[in-house]
Amino acid sequence: MVLLEFSMSPLGKGESVGKYVARSLDIIDKSGVDYRLNPMGTVLEGEWEEVFAVVKRCY
């Protein structure tokens, strides 16, 4: 079991990145992995392989 906190900052996309955050949140939500949002990122909780697979899909 791992806890992983990550945040993504799309470079060269301007100041408004809401649509990118929404896309990542949709991927995370549909993954079934437990998660918690916080002001600086998202914490994922699960098995190593499944957690990192979600991060890869968000990328």
The full DSSP string for 1-59 is -EEEEE----TTS-S--HHHHHHHHHHHHHHT-EEEEETTEEEEEE-HHHHHHHHHHH-
Predicted pLDDT of residue 14: 75
Token pair of 47, please? Answer: 């098995």
CATH node for 2-58:
3.30.70.930
pLDDT at 18: 83
| The predicted structure's pLDDT at residue 6 | 92
Digit-coded pLDDT (tens) for 2-54: 999 999 887 887 778 888 889 999 999 999 999 999 999 999 999 999 999 99
Domain residue limits, the chain: 2-58
- For the stretch 33-42, pLDDT in tens is 999 999 999 9
